[in-house]
């Protein structure tokens, strides 16, 4: 029997997708423990999976619990999919920064929304890691929780073997294959960087470099219009990215800092750049997202697996048949010009011996430089989440590319204060702590300045100015 514990299994569509993938893998003797704080969604999910089991005569057992430790006890694999704070926290992640002029489309990876989503998730990640060390110390943790790099970094610090998973590379390859009219399976690629900001370092078809043709496509308005931000980064930095315009526009300082920039690059609806797109989506799911409604009409026949890597990784680890995928791991030298301890995304192979990084070498210098701007904010968010130091929140926001492009340091400190106070219920590590005020220093009329040594060049400039007068 192979036991899989899904922690945070209340997301109906995603849980259904992952479990149906596991069923389609054909692995015998599966036990899947669905854990969530309530059984509102996991109960109907279990009923659905039981019908699938009976219809297909499957060797699988699905259980439901609200006790995390019960789900974890004896698990071989753990899948993390939790979302701390739910819809209300997601609304605050968007609404409070928007009052300061920090305009987000999604806000789940970086920018103020992603930073605070990470801060809410880190305490739960550390508790889960502690439980795993006790109850299933040899289990492999598959993390789907965003912000991927921040949460997986915390899991890694928590002393468990973790790999972060995302479908950005698979979906981006669909786009490339469509643009170039080449079957996706025939594209030979290497992708590396960080989650939501990895770079296709190689795109080839039967030995032919696909980059010249792809670059030519993105000089045409009919292609560029579909992915303005990703297209613009591609045109200026030379490598195609693995994340869409709505996401990528938040990770760089160029595209959302002014109304003019938003109108030029982020004018596509929904996740194409629209302000508050993720909040609108989350509200729609909450309004129409009862498990019974989402599962209504769901078929019982087995279907081909989705693009998600999870079931393939578990299959490879159980059977020993190697599987190569794009994973997020502690860098550990996989990408030689990114920090050793950061969460890097690149090629990984898994089999019964575990996970193995495939070395990539250096990223192009400009690509690594853009990754580092995000890694700096991720590192400071992890530090804030693990230490409970409110000043580290300020520092994370201050180096975040979007926030720093829009706000002054004083405004950033005020934003950190407002977001911390609004989200205290989900931030136990900051209990009783506050962001230290730094009032503005006014300069009165007739101020007599303190006497300080002048920089030699400034002293010469002043003398010349006086002589000229």
Active site residues: 167, 251
**Spatial separation of the C-alpha atoms in residues 357 and 324, rounded to whole Å:** 10
Cα Rg of the chain (Å, integer): 24
From 336, 173, 178, 165, select the one nearest 243 (Cα to Cα). 173
First to last CA, the chain: 90
> Please, are residues 282 and 146 in contact by the beta-carbon 8 Å criterion?
no
**Spatial separation of the C-alpha atoms in residues 155 and 129, rounded to whole Å:** 6
Cβ atoms within 10 Å of 265's Cβ, excluding its own: 19
3-state secondary structure of 326: strand
| DSSP string covering 391-426 | HHHHHHHHH-HHHHHH--HHHHHHHHHHHHHHTGGG
What are the contacts of 85-90 at 24+ separation with CB within 8 A? 85/117, 85/120, 85/423, 85/425, 85/426, 87/282, 87/283, 87/286, 89/116, 89/117, 89/120, 89/423, 89/426, 90/117, 90/278, 90/279, 90/282
Pairing between β-strand 323-330 and β-strand 343-351 as defined by DSSP bridges: antiparallel
**Spatial separation of the C-alpha atoms in residues 407 and 296, rounded to whole Å:** 46
Cβ atoms within 10 Å of 44's Cβ, excluding its own: 18
From 283, 240, 277, 282, select the one nearest 256 (Cα to Cα). 277
From 300, 301, 312, select the one nearest 27 (Cα to Cα). 312
**Spatial separation of the C-alpha atoms in residues 427 and 118, rounded to whole Å:** 10
**Spatial separation of the C-alpha atoms in residues 328 and 142, rounded to whole Å:** 10
Spacing of C-alpha 285 from chain mean position: 20
From 28, 25, 32, 24, select the one nearest 3 (Cα to Cα). 32
């Amino acid at each position: 029997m192979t036991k899989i514990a899904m922690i945070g299994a209340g997301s109906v569509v995603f849980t259904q997708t992952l479990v149906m993938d596991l069923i389609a893998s054909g692995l015998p003797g599966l036990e899947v423990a669905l854990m969530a704080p309530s059984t509102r969604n996991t109960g109907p999910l279990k009923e659905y999976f039981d019908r699938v089991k009976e219809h297909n005569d499957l060797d699988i057992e699905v259980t439901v619990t609200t006790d995390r430790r019960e789900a974890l006890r004896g698990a071989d694999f753990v899948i993390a999919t939790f979302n701390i704070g739910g819809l209300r926290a997601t609304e605050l992640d968007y609404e409070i920064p928007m009052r300061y002029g920090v305009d987000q489309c999604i806000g789940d990876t970086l920018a103020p929304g992603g930073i605070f989503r990470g801060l809410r998730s880190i305490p739960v990640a550390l508790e889960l890691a502690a439980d795993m060390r006790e109850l299933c110390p040899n289990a492999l943790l598959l993390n789907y929780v965003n912000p991927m790099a921040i949460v997986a970094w915390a899991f890694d610090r928590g002393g468990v073997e973790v790999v972060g998973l995302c479908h950005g590379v698979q979906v981006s390859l669909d786009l490339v294959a469509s643009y170039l009219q080449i079957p996706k399976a025939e594209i030979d690629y290497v992708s590396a960087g960080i989650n939501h900001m990895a770079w296709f370092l190689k795109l080839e078809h039967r030995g032919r470099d696909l980059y010249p043709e792809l670059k030519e496509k993105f000089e045409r308005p009919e292609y560029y219009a579909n992915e303005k931000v990703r297209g613009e980064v591609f045109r200026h930095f030379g490598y195609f990215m693995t994340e869409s315009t709505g996401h990528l526009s938040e990770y760089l300082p160029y595209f959302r800092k002014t109304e003019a920039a938003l109108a030029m690059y982020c004018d596509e609806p929904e996740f194409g750049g629209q302000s508050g797109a993720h909040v609108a989506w989350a509200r729609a799911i909450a309004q129409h997202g009862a498990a019974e409604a989402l599962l209504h009409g769901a078929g019982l026949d087995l279907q081909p697996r989705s693009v998600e890597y999870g079931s393939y990784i578990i299959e490879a680890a159980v059977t020993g048949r190697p599987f190569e995928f794009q994973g997020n791991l502690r860098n550990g030298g996989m990408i030689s010009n990114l920090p050793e301890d950061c969460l890097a995304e690149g090629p990984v192979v898994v089999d019964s011996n575990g996970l193995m990084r495939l070395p990539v070498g250096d990223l192009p210098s400009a690509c690594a430089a853009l990754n580092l701007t995000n890694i700096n904010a991720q590192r400071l968010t992890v530090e804030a989440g693990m230490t409970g130091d409110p000043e580290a929140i300020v520092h994370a926001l201050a180096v975040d590319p979007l926030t720093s492009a829009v706000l002054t340091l004083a405004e950033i400190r005020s934003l950190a204060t407002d977001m911390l106070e609004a989200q205290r219920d989900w931030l136990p590590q900051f209990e009783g702590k506050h962001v230290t005020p730094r009032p503005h220093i006014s300069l009165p009329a007739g101020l007599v300045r303190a006497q300080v040594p002048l920089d030699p060049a400034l002293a010469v400039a002043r003398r010349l100015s006086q002589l000229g007068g």
